[in-house]
A and B are shown apart, each in its own frame.
Chain A
Amino acid sequence: TQLLEQSPQFLSIQEGENLTVYCNSSSVFSSLQWYRQEPGEGPVLLVTVVTGGEVKKLKRLTFQFGDARKDSSLHITAAQPGDTGLYLCAGSNTGNQFYFGTGTSLTVIP
């Protein structure tokens, strides 16, 4: 099993603050995805990164894939209450199997 560690595990911030979530592994992945999951629902794909060093932006969310393709970060600018949720990274080296990270539970306080 390829382990993906996310940090922090829990994060509670005020509306308007910036934050960064990290996803780290000792394994190299050919691609990495970030998902957001709300309670009682399935994960929703936010982005896929495939090239070492790649940076993708989705409105206030910035995703970066590490140069060595072992780690990734998610940065949220000016967080809003609607950003509250569980953020999951998932990496894969095979065609069909993704390994999910441990998750970061984000709470944005109005």
Chain B
Amino acid sequence: EPEVTQTPSHQVTQMGQEVILRCVPISNHLYFYWYRQILGQKVEFLVSFYNNEISEKSEIFDDQFSVERPDGSNFTLKIRSTKLEDSAMYFCASSGTVWAENHGKAFFGQGTRLTVV
């Protein structure tokens, strides 16, 4: 069964450093998402991406965050200057259709655990 893959599985970085989290969505999917989950807290929406642009973003997704689809397969989340509070599990998801309108399935990756020290 096709799956969303994320790399690395765990990244440790120093505060103030830039990090890039990578995702390979399912190949024929059109909608891509980043979510994060701080330890012990709920899953939070960051951003959705369609047709090579951001379609929605939450208040968490401020100027220090950016997303990119540099080629036909990868979808990346960049955090420019990491803060301690960015430590969390970051999940990438992809969907073949608009989530709520067509009730399409969304598939999540295994996540990248980001630790900022």
Contacts and interface: CB of A to CB of B under 8 A. Distances in A.
Interface in B71-112: 91, 93, 98-101, 103, 105-111
Nearest to B92: A42
A42 B100 contact: no
Interface in A51-110: 88, 90, 92-103
Interface of B: 4, 31, 33, 35, 42-45, 48, 50, 55-56, 58, 91, 93, 98-101, 103, 105-111, 113
Contacts of A44: 108
Given A40-B110, A45-B107, A92 B42 contact: no
A24 interface: no
Interface of A: 30-31, 33, 40-45, 48, 50, 88, 90, 92-103
A43 B110 contact: no
B43 A31 contact: no
Contacts of B58: 97
Chain B contact residues, majority secondary structure: strand
B95 to A, nearest CB: 9
A48 B104 CA distance: 9
A95 B55 contact: yes
A30 to B, nearest CB: 6
26 contacts: A30-B100, A40-B113, A42-B108, A42-B109, A45-B105, A48-B103, A50-B103, A88-B43, A92-B99, A92-B100, A94-B100, A95-B56, A95-B99, A96-B31, A96-B99, A96-B100, A97-B45, A98-B45, A98-B99, A98-B100, A98-B106, A99-B45, A100-B35, A100-B45, A102-B42, A103-B42
Contacts of A43: 43, 91, 108
Contacts of A40: 110-111, 113
Contact of A31 (B33, B50, B100): B100
Contacts of B100: 30-31, 92-96, 98
Contacts of A92: 99-100
A100 B93 contact: no
Given A45-B106, A45-B107, A48-B103, A96 B43 contact: no
